[in-house]
């Protein structure tokens, strides 16, 4: 799972992504976005500000369908300088600076993750109930991993994340053993069928089956162009860019996310957010590599 901040990709397989005739289009909206990701994919964490903006501006015409990419099965390999958790710890520190998203490598030194499969299965189990709840669950697990230094491979932390987003714990645990595991295996088969070679990968598909691919972490314009290529007759949706507006949709935001969603100068963002903290409007989780701001 070599993850390279300079290319914005976490590699998982050989070969190029191909066209998507294999996918049955099932969406009430004009575009389906088939998104391959992983709970511990650093480039996917770097994509969060752009993906959140995409949903705000084009959510009226697209649905994002999350699939797990199976980034780390185990540590039985050595490739491109990544052969142990300590290598990932160093990479995350570098990626944090490159992506301007808070990431701490400590957990990979103190309580290293041996596989991303367990949290992936947990996500697929949560997805059975609701795509929206599952996305919140995935977001919470990532915040716990990158900022709180918690090993989300372990059930105790998956359970904590599930409680935070209001999932039924007993049902989640049961679904992880049965349907969640099967759905994760199906995601891996779909990844192979579509020849996805790295994460993040997003397929933009219209109702006629025409598709555009955005591979790796790219500027926002790449996703916007993909939308317009498969559905030219559209426009951006205006949304409330005030701090109240964006926090009403996303209750936790990093500084980079707030800058992206409110079109605020990145240099001024932390002063703006810290003032809101001082006024009691927000709380803040502080790390050496950046902060997470939380709606009260």
Q: For position 7, what pLDDT does the model report?
A: 84
Q: Which two tokens stand for residue 255?
A: 């500084």
pLDDT digits (tens, 9 = 90+) for 175-233: 999 999 999 999 999 999 999 999 999 999 999 999 999 999 999 999 999 999 999 99
Is the pLDDT score of 265 beyond 80? yes
d(CA 199, CA 76): 20
pTM of the entire structure? 0.95
95: Cα separation from own chain's centroid: 15
DSSP 8-state code for residue 29: S
Closest CA to 177 of 118, 131, 130, 133: 118
DSSP 8-state code for residue 15: S
Beta bridge partners of 253: 293
d(CA 236, CA 215): 22
Question: Distance of CA 109 to CAs 42, 69, 87, 114, Å?
Answer: 16, 24, 9, 11
Closest CA to 95 of 47, 154, 39, 28: 47
> If pLDDT is split at 50, 70 and 90, which confidence band does 5 have?
confident
pLDDT digits (tens, 9 = 90+) for 105-158: 999 999 999 999 999 999 999 999 999 999 999 999 999 999 999 999 999 999
What's the rounded mean pLDDT across residues 63-86?
A: 88
Residue % of the chain over a pLDDT of 70: 93
What's the rounded mean pLDDT across residues 237-252?
A: 98
Q: Could you give all domains of the chain from N- to C-terminal order, each with its CATH number?
A: 3-199 (3.40.30.10), 243-295 (1.10.10.10)
Q: For position 108, what pLDDT does the model report?
A: 97
pLDDT digits (tens, 9 = 90+) for 156-174: 999 999 999 999 999 999 9
d(CA 284, CA 231): 39
Q: For position 21, what pLDDT does the model report?
A: 46
Query: Interhelix angle for 220-230 vs 42-58, to 10°?
Result: 50
Q: For position 4, what pLDDT does the model report?
A: 79
> If pLDDT is split at 50, 70 and 90, which confidence band does 83 have?
confident
> If pLDDT is split at 50, 70 and 90, which confidence band does 28 have?
confident
Which residue spans within 42-143 are E strands per DSSP? 62-68
pLDDT digits (tens, 9 = 90+) for 39-62: 999 999 999 999 999 999 999 999
d(CA 121, CA 25): 24
What's the rounded mean pLDDT across residues 251-279?
A: 98
Residue % of the chain over a pLDDT of 90: 88
Is the pLDDT score of 15 beyond 60? no
Is the pLDDT score of 14 beyond 70? no
Q: For position 12, what pLDDT does the model report?
A: 83
What is the bridge-based pairing of β-strands 9-11 and 3-4?
A: antiparallel
Q: At 80, give phi and psi (nearest 5°).
A: 50, 40
């Amino acid at each position: 799972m070599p993850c390279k901040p300079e290319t914005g990709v976490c590699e998982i397989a050989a070969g190029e992504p191909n066209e998507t005739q294999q996918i049955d289009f099932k969406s009430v909206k004009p575009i389906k976005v088939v998104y391959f990701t992983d709970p511990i994919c650093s480039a996917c964490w770097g994509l969060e500000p752009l993906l959140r903006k995409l949903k705000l501006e084009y959510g009226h015409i697209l649905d994002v369908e999350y699939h797990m990419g199976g980034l780390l099965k185990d540590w039985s390999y050595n490739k491109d300088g990544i052969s142990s958790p300590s290598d990932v710890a160093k990479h995350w520190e570098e990626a944090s600076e490159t992506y301007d998203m808070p990431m701490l490598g400590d957990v990979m030194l103190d309580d290293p993750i041996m596989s991303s499969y367990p949290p992936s299965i947990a996500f697929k189990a949560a997805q059975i109930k609701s795509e929206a709840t599952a996305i919140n669950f995935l977001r919470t697990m990532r915040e716990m991993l990158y900022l709180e230094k918690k090993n989300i491979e372990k059930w105790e932390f998956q359970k904590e994340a599930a409680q935070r987003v209001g999932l039924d714990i007993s049902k989640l645990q049961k679904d992880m053993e049965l349907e969640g595991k099967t759905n994760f295996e199906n995601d891996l088969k779909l990844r192979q069928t579509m020849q996805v070679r790295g994460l993040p990968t997003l397929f933009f598909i219209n109702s006629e089956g025409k598709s555009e691919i955005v591979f790796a972490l790219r500027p926002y314009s790449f996703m916007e162009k993909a939308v317009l290529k498969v559905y030219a007759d559209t426009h951006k949706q205006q949304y409330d860019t005030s701090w109240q507006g964006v926090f009403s949709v996303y209750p936790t935001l990093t500084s980079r996310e707030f800058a992206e969603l409110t079109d605020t100068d990145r240099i001024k963002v932390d002063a703006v957010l810290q003032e809101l903290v001082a006024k009691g409007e927000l709380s803040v989780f502080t790390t050496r590599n950046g902060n997470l701001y939380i709606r009260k």
